[in-house]
Amino acid sequence: MLRTHYSSQITPQYDGKTVTVAGWVAKIRDIGKVKFLILRDKEGEVQIIAKKGDILDSLVDTITSLTRESVVSVTGKVIKNKDAPGGFEIVPEKINVLAKAEAPLPLETDPNIKSELDTRINFRYLDLRRKEVSAIFRIKDVVHRSFIKYLEAEGFILAHVPCVVSAATEGGTNLFPISYFENEAFLSQSPQLYKQMLMASGLDKVLIVTPVFRAEEHNTTRHLNESTQMDIEVAFVEDEQGALKYIEGAVNFIYKEVVKECKEQLKILGRTLDIPLVPFKQLTYTEALDVLKKDGINIKWGDDIPPEGERALCKNFNPLLVTKWPTDVRAFYSMPEPGNEKICRAYDLLIDGMEISSGAQRIHNYNILVSEMKRRKMNPKNFEFYLNAFKYGMPPHAGWSIGLERLTYIICGLKNIREAMLWPRDRTRLTP
């Protein structure tokens, strides 16, 4: 066998037992007649001690010849040693060199040596061997799985929808065109239209996790051109609060699961998470502008709230749901407030000074939806496949989406959202 145990599975209680560990050579220390090989696997590190006279000379020579980041499998006896990392070390009986790494390395894996983010992404497979980088993606995995776990317990069904579409999801122009046989097609901006159509099917509580693509020429530390969206849609709601209760519950549950399952990863990243308390504070858009005005930030009614405004709001309330947005700054399908059509039942969730989610109650009346599209100079014929679902019994419904990378970015306290994507796509990066 190439491995019987990961490093974390061995304890001083294994004293005298033979195990086989496998991984990458993190470092080699030479102290005269004694050599130490530090082997790294996905669970941590284990120390291999090679003392001349105690083991075969050929094993000492093998260790001497190794380059850092070579892949090896080591079979040996566990020896309890309170001074060794983990309280034990392994005396090798056999070393199998599975793949020798070239030297020098194109990316330094020593955690004390920092590399530029672009270089790290170019050699992501090496970058991930650093525990602080691996920790990010372990946390991201828990965020993803916790989202699904919570909503399935609430009766939601996991659905899958197309990523190749024929029309803009939100009526915008920021689309990536693709060649699709004889037809014009685009990469999807959002699963929005499809999850709304599902509300007419009887599957009235759905969750979706899918890649989305936005052809926006931004170059910020908080935007990507390809990201992962975690969505819900729920029918038979009276208003937007019918969906907001699920975002409160989902975020609260995700934080709890990360705190429970990722203690070591949070420690590596130097993070202490405060679990958001339910219910979240809610302010209307107009109330939020009043709060910002008191802080010296003046925003014209009808304009979007800029990043500095989001940060200022979260200094007062964190998390914060901003509700009742101006209709004209939200998507065409957002439900206008009865009696005041300048306002709609849309909302954003802000955490730690950043928007991580947006949503709304949707227009479910066919005629009103078509009228709103025409008002916005959209051609309803381009959305016939979507609009047809509203002709044959569409219940009131609402939903929202959370950006997986953005939430991971916030939880991990990262400086750039690209750190939360294995191989990010932005304005200038298409490889690897």
CATH assignment, 126-420: 3.30.930.10
Q: What topology does CATH give the domain 7-99? A: OB fold (Dihydrolipoamide Acetyltransferase, E2P) (2.40.50)
* Residue 170 pLDDT greater than 80, yes or no: no
> CB–CB of 76/18 below 8 Å?
yes
User: pTM for the whole thing?
Assistant: 0.94
Residue ranges of the domains in the chain?
Answer: 7-99, 126-420
Q: Residue 219 has what pLDDT?
A: 83
> CB–CB of 52/33 below 8 Å?
yes
Q: Residue 240 has what pLDDT?
A: 97
**Residue 389 three-state SS:** helix
- Per DSSP, the residues of 248-282 read HHHHHHHHHHHHHH-HHHHHHHT--PPPPPSSPEE
Kind of pairing, strands 164-165 and 397-403? unpaired
**Region 182-203: what's the mean pLDDT?**
94
Which residues carry out catalysis? 214, 216, 222-223, 355, 358, 406
C-alpha distances in angstroms, 51 versus 16, 21, 96, 209, 332? 17, 19, 18, 53, 72
What digits encode the pLDDT tens for the residues 21-41?
Answer: 999 999 999 998 899 999 999
Q: Residue 85 has what pLDDT?
A: 83
* Residue 11 pLDDT greater than 80, yes or no: yes
* Residue 173 pLDDT greater than 70, yes or no: no
> CB–CB of 211/162 below 8 Å?
no
DSSP assignment letter at 320: E
